[in-house]
Amino acid sequence: MSTCLTCRKEFDGRSNRKFCSISCKNKFHNTRNREKEATVNDINKILHKNWVTLHKLYGIYRSAPISLDVAEAYGYNPKYFTHIHNSPFGEKYTMVYDLGIKNHIDNQIQIISID
């Protein structure tokens, strides 16, 4: 006897089977995929908010150094970015799509538009 991972019903069959039916197997995987997609959606929302926030800040300050605290107060979350860009001048930018962040040691950042 095995116990179905979805409906908890006991069923006969090969001992390595985890589900009583195809329907329970599908339900289990659909739920798991939905949870994985929810995680991706949550991160996408943060990235999108970062992108909107950085564009707003870039519209105000251009590439002048601003305090990270100010950027965070506007809604920027520095833990989330899309990739790292190494400039030809040896500078490293943390990218949020088309906008780069240059981090300074004094808790200031500069927003750089990469075309």
What is the binding site for Zn ion (CB under 5 A)?
A: 4, 6-7, 20, 24
User: For 75, which DSSP code?
Assistant: T
Spatial CB neighbours of 82, under 8 Å, sequence gap ≥ 6: 47, 95, 96, 97
Least CB distance to Zn ion at residue 30 (A): 14
Least CB distance to Zn ion at residue 97 (A): 44
Q: Residue 21 or residue 113: which is nearer to Zn ion going by CB?
A: 21
Q: Residue 11 or residue 61: which is nearer to Zn ion going by CB?
A: 11
Q: Residue 22 or residue 40: which is nearer to Zn ion going by CB?
A: 22
Least CB distance to Zn ion at residue 35 (A): 19
CA atoms within 13 A on the CB side of 52: 8
Q: Residue 4 or residue 96: which is nearer to Zn ion going by CB?
A: 4
Angle at 51 between CA 48 and CA 53, to 5 degrees: 110
Of 114, 27, 107, nearest in space to 63 by CA? 114
Least CB distance to Zn ion at residue 34 (A): 18
